Structures are given as C-alpha cells and as structure tokens.
C-alpha cells in the first residue's frame, strides 16, 4: 500500500526507481558494506547519477525540483532496504547536511559545490552535535574567532554521520560569547584537508554499521570568512529550520524499516512450524502482527499527510515533532515483536531482523530524542 492520496504519479515513479535500486544494488551487497563500515563511494555516485541526491534541488545544479513528498518516498524506500546504515548515509547527505549549503550558501558556494553534491562526487556531513550539545543547540561550545579575513575554529564534534569519509562539512560554531545564545551560532563550510581540522576517530556503534560515524576536532583551524554559510550569528535558526525536514525524513525512514520488518515476519510465521502448525495459526501472534500493521499504516499516512502540508507551505512543526516521537518509538516496538516471533533465529547475526532491530534503536534517539520531541509537542498543544 502506498500513499496515493497524497502522492502523484511522479512520486510513485520515483518509488519504483528507488525500490529497483534497493533490490538490485543494495540488498545483494550491503552485508559486505556492514563489515567494511562504510558505503562504497561508487555506490553513492550511482545514486547521484540516478537523481536521488538532487530531488529537492534546482535543475541548474542537476536536480529535479521535487518537494517533501518525494523526500519521504526516498527515505521510506531506503528504510525498507533492511540496511539502515545505507539509508542514513544517503539521507544525511541529501536532507541534513547539503541543505545548509543550498539554503544559506552564496551563489559562488553553490556553483562551486552543488553540482558535485548532487552527482554524489562530493559527500556532505553536518557537524552540530557535541558531547554536551545535541538537541540543545544553544549548548554548543566549539568557537569561531574572527581573525582578519578568516575565522579560527577550536572545539570538537561527536557522533557525526559521514564524518570519516565526507568531502564537505557544514560546521556549527559560536562566534559570540556574549548576547543571546540563539544569536551566537554561525554555520561554516569546511572542506576535508583544511589545516587544523581532523577526524579524531571513527566511532563503533550498536547499529548502522555501514554508516561511518566520527568524532571531529578543530585546533586553530583557519576558515576563510567567505566560507560562512549565511549570516554570522544566524546558524541556530538555520539548524532549527532544518530539524523539521530532518525529523520528517527520519520518520519516513523508520516506517519503511517497520514495514519491511512486518513483511519479513509475516513470511516467517506463515512457514515456521511449532507444535504441528505454522506460527501464523497462533491467535496471539497473528493478532499482534495485525495491530502493528494497522499502527504502521496509520503512522505512514500521517507522514505522507504532513509532507503534503509541508509541500503546500504550511507550518508543520508540531506535526513533525509528533512524527519523530511516534515513529521512533513505533519502529522499536515493531522490531521487538518481530524479533520475538523469529525465535532463536531472530537472535542470530545471520538474520536480517537481528540487524534491523539494532539499527532501529537509534530512531528514538538521533535527530531529537523522544522525550525532547514530546516537549516540543506539549508546547504547541
């Protein structure tokens, strides 16, 4: 079932294209990428060549100028791949990092980098999170001091997706130590190899194993003033604006994961026999799966409806916060029961559901923890 009430034929054509890529390119090879701890660059270039990285961007840079509904379709289908590390590698690039370059970058910055970003030749990361500042962006401690025609950055970033292998980094730093925290953060565009900027280490994670994640360090890192993204002191607002898109995308990805888990589990319980009959014959199991299927279908429609409202230019902060909380918790509930119904096989590393359950756990944490999202919702009730 798709979101045909909210999606056009063009969106469904995109779905078919992404689904073919998932079946032909990701599923057969991604187990090796899990072992390697990264998605090969040639695969990302293929995704760029197919247009997946330019969905929301103008034709002049190689994009297709679609809307939030197209992004939701991409995220959902990548989530259905059962390899969420691949999905998040692509979605951070398309909808969480390069957005800062396009939205706030100068014409010169866009012209220099956006064609390569859309083609998959230049992969992006966004460096906001720190050990003491995740959803609390005002708590950023990395500083940027103006020195002539450059800024000098000092500090560290943590849990940065694509952080090891990215080419371009959109980095948040404090350019003022006095005044309101919301007017103290500035975004900078850094290229890999900038003196004073290093990848401190690649981080080992519970899940998303083929998504590279890093700790970054800035030690007297000189960044040309022309690399500021947007206006000095306006980075907080840029981050907050894009959080809405990020959370919608993560919600769509989570529902793709949940649907894939249900599909796998339905196939399993209809063939796996216990006590002389398939598990599907056990009323408790089939009714539990039926209820989960109903809840996932409802949440998916909420995601589609919110994407359609966003595409129409409506304010959807409350709804996006609801989606992030709802979908992040629901996908984990689905994974718990689906693994349970796989029995001992569900606990084995050779089982897709075991990997999927590990991957899903972060959906209630990354991009805004459930508790933070519920506070955002509560403010708007």
Q: For 158-206, write each residue's pLDDT tens digit.
A: 999 999 999 999 999 999 888 788 889 999 999 999 999 999 999 999 9
- Residue 175's contacts (CB-CB under 8 Å, 6 or more residues apart) are 143, 144, 145, 146, 151, 184, 185, 186, 232, 233
pLDDT confidence of residue 219: 98
Cα 322 to Cα 319: distance, rounded to the nearest angstrom: 5
Q: How many residues does the chain have?
A: 381
pLDDT confidence of residue 377: 97
The SS3 assignment for 300 reads helix
Residue 26 backbone phi and psi in degrees, to 5: -85, -55
**Domains in the chain: boundaries:** 9-122, 125-233, 237-379
Check if the beta carbon of residue 123 is closer than 8 Å to that of residue 93: yes
Assign domain 9-122 to its CATH superfamily: Acyl-CoA dehydrogenase/oxidase, N-terminal domain (1.10.540.10)
HSE at residue 136, side-chain half, CA atoms within 13 A, is 8
Check if the beta carbon of residue 85 is closer than 8 Å to that of residue 257: no
Does this model's pTM top 0.75?
yes
Burial label for 312, CB within 10 Å (0-12, 13-18, 19+), is exposed
DSSP string, 124-180: EEEE--BTTBSS-GGG---EEEEETTEEEEEEEEEEEETTTT-SEEEEEEES-SSS-
Do the domains spanning 9-122 and 125-233 agree at the CATH topology level?
Answer: no
Check if the beta carbon of residue 82 is closer than 8 Å to that of residue 355: yes
Cα 375 to Cα 135: distance, rounded to the nearest angstrom: 12
Q: Dig out the tokens for 103 from the structure.
A: 């939205």
Check if the beta carbon of residue 142 is closer than 8 Å to that of residue 218: yes
Residue 173 backbone phi and psi in degrees, to 5: -145, 155
Domain topology for 237-379: Butyryl-CoA Dehydrogenase, subunit A; domain 3 (1.20.140)
Check if the beta carbon of residue 202 is closer than 8 Å to that of residue 212: yes
pLDDT confidence of residue 1: 45
pLDDT confidence of residue 3: 55
Q: Dig out the tokens for 379 from the structure.
A: 């403010």
Second CATH level (architecture) for the domain 125-233? Beta Barrel (2.40)
| Residues labelled as active-site residues | 246
Residues of the chain whose pLDDT is less than 70?
1-4
């Amino acid at each position: 079932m798709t979101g045909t009430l909210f999606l056009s034929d063009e969106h469904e054509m995109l779905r078919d294209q992404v689904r073919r890529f998932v079946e032909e390119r990701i599923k057969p090879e991604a187990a090796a990428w899990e072992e390697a701890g990264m998605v090969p660059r040639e695969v990302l270039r293929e995704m760029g060549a197919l247009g997946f990285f330019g969905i929301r961007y103008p034709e002049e840079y190689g994009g297709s100028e679609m809307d939030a509904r197209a992004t939701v379709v991409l995220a959902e289908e990548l989530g259905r791949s059962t390899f969420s590390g691949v999905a998040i590698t692509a979605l951070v690039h398309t909808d969480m990092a390069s957005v800062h370059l396009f939205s706030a970058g100068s014409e010169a910055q866009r012209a220099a980098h956006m064609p390569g970003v859309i083609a998959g030749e230049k992969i992006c990361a966004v460096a906001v999170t720190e050990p003491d500042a995740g959803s609390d962006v005002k708590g950023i401690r990395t500083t940027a001091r103006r020195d002539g025609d450059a800024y000098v950055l000092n500090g560290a970033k943590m849990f940065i997706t694509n952080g090891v292998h990215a080419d371009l980094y959109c980095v948040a730093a404090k350019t003022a130590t006095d005044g309101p925290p919301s007017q103290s953060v500035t975004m900078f565009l850094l290229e890999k190899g900038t003196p004073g900027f290093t990848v401190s280490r690649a981080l080992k994670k519970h899940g998303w194993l083929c998504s590279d994640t890093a700790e970054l360090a800035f030690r007297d890192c000189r960044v040309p003033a022309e690399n500021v993204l947007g206006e000095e002191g306006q980075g907080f607002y840029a981050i907050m604006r894009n959080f809405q898109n990020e959370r919608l995308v993560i919600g769509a990805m989570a529902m793709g994961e949940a649907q894939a888990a249900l599909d796998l589990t339905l196939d399993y319980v209809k063939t796996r026999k216990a006590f002389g009959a398939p598990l599907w014959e056990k009323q408790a199991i089939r009714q539990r799966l039926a209820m989960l299927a109903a809840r996932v279908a409802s949440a998916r429609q909420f995601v589609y409806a919110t994407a359609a409202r966003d595409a129409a230019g409506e304010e959807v902060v409350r709804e996006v916060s609801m989606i992030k909380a709802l979908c992040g918790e629901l996908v984990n509930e689905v994974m718990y029961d689906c693994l349970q119904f796989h029995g001992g096989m569900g606990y084995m590393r050779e089982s897709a559901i075991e990997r999927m359950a590990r991957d899903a756990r972060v959906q209630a944490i990354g991009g805004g923890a459930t508790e933070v999202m519920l506070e955002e919702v509560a403010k708007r009730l």
